[in-house]
Structure 1
Amino acid sequence: MYIRKAITIAFAAAVAFIGTGTDAFAAKVRREANFTVRIENISNADGYETAGGARYPFALSPGFFILDAKKTALFAAGEKASGALEAQAEDGNPELFSKHWLTRVGGLKIGVFNKPEGSMMPAPILPGQAYQFTFKAKEGMKLNLIAMFGQSNDLFYAPEAAFELFDKDGNPFTGDVTESFMLWDAGTEVNQAPGVGDEQAPRQKAANTGKAENGRVGKVADGFVYPNTRDVLRITIMAK
C-alpha cells in the first residue's frame, strides 16, 4: 500500500513538472530591437515672416521621450497642463518630466534629447540641425515624445498617442512619423504672434514669466499663422 501510494505521488509530481515545463517552453519570446530617432529642423533658413514684416528662424527646443508597455500620455487634451508640461511648453525645459517619471516603477525608460547633433552643449535646433537618440526596446513597448515650438509662449509638438514600435507580427517599425505630430497649445500663457513676442522664450527676461492664460490643453487655434509641421520638421524612427 505504501509503495503504491509513493508511486502515485511521484507520477503526479512528474506530470506537474512536465506541464510546467511545457507552459514555459510555449511562452512567447518577445523580440528586441535597437531604434534610432532623428528629429530634423528642415525649415527655411531665411525664416518666416511675421505680421509686421520681420522674419524669425524656426527653432525646436530640447525635449523628453518615454518608452513604456502602456500608451503613456504626457498630457490630456481638454485638461489643465501639469507643471511638467508647462515647463516644457513655455521654456523648452524637459527636466520636470524627467523628475516626475524617475519616481515611477515598472518597465519604462525615459530620456531627454537636448544636444544638437555634433554639439556638446544643450541648445535648441535651428534650421539644418537635428537631435538624434537611440534606445533598445522589446516587443510591446511604445514611444512618446514632446518638444516646444521655440518661438512661442506655450506651444509644443507631440503626437496624439504613443507610437507602437512593433507590428502585430513582432516586426520592428521603421519610417517617417512626422505626420503624426501636431502643434498643441498648453493653455498656460497668453499667446503672442510667433517670433516677435517679448514674453516668448528667446526674448523673455526670465523663465516661467508671461501673462497667465489659465486655459486648457488643445490644438492651436489662436488666429496666428504657423508653418505647417511637415515644412519645418522631419521625424523618423529607424530600427536595426
Structure 2
Amino acid sequence: MSKLRIIGGFALAAAMLLGIQAAPTVFAAGKKKASFKVRIENISDKGGVTAVDGSKYPFVASPGLYTASASDLALFVDGRKATKGIEAQAEDGDPELLLKEALGQKVEGSFGIFNKPLGADMPGPLLPGSSYEFTFTAVSGQRLSLYTMYGQSNDLFYAPATPIELFVNGSPVVGDITDKLVLWDAGTEVNEAPGLGMYQGPRQKAKNQGVDENGVVARVRDGFTYPAAKDVLRVTITAN
C-alpha cells in the first residue's frame, strides 16, 4: 500500500486542524506545577500487521486530542452512546469536534490537538517510525487523557480507561505510560476486518461513511485480532 493511500482518509481532517492551539490554563494558587512533554511513537513493525486474509497492513494512528484537568471530562462513558466528537475521532481521525466538546465543559486545564509528526512540514497521520509530541503545564490534582484512532479500523480509538495521574505524592509522573491505553470501539459503525474494510480510513472515499451500528462505547470485542498497544505504540512522559 502506498504512503499516499495510507494517508488518504486523514489528509482532509489534518488540513482542517492547522492553527488549532491548546486552550490556556488557569492555575490555582498553592499547588505544585510542572511542565510536561508527551511523546507518542509508532513502534509497529514496518512489515505491517497481519490481516485475516494473510496480507499485511501498516499500523497507523491518527491525529488526536489531549486533555489535562482536575475535573472529570465526560468525553465518553463505557457502555453509553458515543458523542459526535468521539464518533469523528474514532471513524475519521478528526479531533476538532472532540476538542470543542472538551472546551464546552468549561473546566480548568490544558486542551489541545496533536497532529504534526516530528520532522514533518504538515499535519498528518502517525506512520510507522514516526512520533507526535505535545507539551503542556499542569498542577497537582490534574490528570491526563489522550485520544487517537486505530487508523485501519471503522471506529476504534485508543484512550485511557481513567485519566492518568500527573502527580504522585507531590512529584510529577515520568516514564512509559503506554500500559494506560485501552482500545475502544465507539459503537458508531459496523466493524470490518482491520486493514481490509472498504469503509476504513485509508480506503473510504469520504468522511463519515460505513454502516451505522447504533451501539455504545465499549472495549473492543468484535472477534477480530488487534495488536497489543505496547507492540505498536510507545507513549512516554517527561517533566521539568
Q: Same fold (TM over 0.5)?
A: yes
Give 1:148's aligned residue.
149
Compute the displacement of 1:100 (Å). Answer: 2.0
Please list the CA deviations of residues 48-93 of structure 1 after superposition, one character each: whole Å capped at 9, or x if unmatched. 1212221100000000011111232421010000000000000000
* Contact 2:91-2:154 at 8 Å conserved across structures: yes
SS of residue in 2 equivalent to 1:61: coil
Taking the aligned partners of 1:105 and 1:57, their CA distance within structure 2 comes to 38
The one-letter amino acid paired with 2:229 is: T
Please list the CA deviations of residues 204-223 of structure 1 after superposition, one character each: whole Å capped at 9, or x if unmatched. 01100100011111011111
Distance change (3 Å), C-alpha of 1:73 and 1:163: farther
Higher helix share: 1
Give the aligned CA root-mean-square deviation in angstroms: 1.4
Q: Identity of paired residues, percent?
A: 54
* Contact 2:73-2:102 at 8 Å conserved across structures: no
Taking the aligned partners of 1:131 and 1:160, their CA distance within structure 2 comes to 21
Give 1:175's aligned residue.
175
Please list the CA deviations of residues 132-184 of structure 1 after superposition, one character each: whole Å capped at 9, or x if unmatched. 011111111111111000000000001101111111x3111101111111111
Give 1:129's aligned residue.
130
Give 1:199's aligned residue.
199
Match runs of 1:75-114 below 5 Å:
75-114=76-115
Runs (4+) off by over 6 Å = none
Taking the aligned partners of 1:119 and 1:155, their CA distance within structure 2 comes to 25
Give 1:67's aligned residue.
68
Compute the displacement of 1:106 (Å). Answer: 3.6
SS of residue in 2 equivalent to 1:144: strand
Compute the displacement of 1:28 (Å). Answer: 7.8
Compute the displacement of 1:30 (Å). Answer: 1.0
Give 1:186's aligned residue.
186
Gaps (5+ residues) in structure 1?
1-26
Distance change (3 Å), C-alpha of 1:196 and 1:133: same
Q: TM-score, normalised by structure 1?
A: 0.86
Give 2:57's aligned residue.
56
SS of residue in 2 equivalent to 1:183: strand
SS of residue in 1 equivalent to 2:201: coil
Number of matched residues?
A: 213
Taking the aligned partners of 2:79 and 2:190, their CA distance within structure 1 comes to 17
Q: TM-score, normalised by structure 2?
A: 0.86
The one-letter amino acid paired with 1:199 is: Y
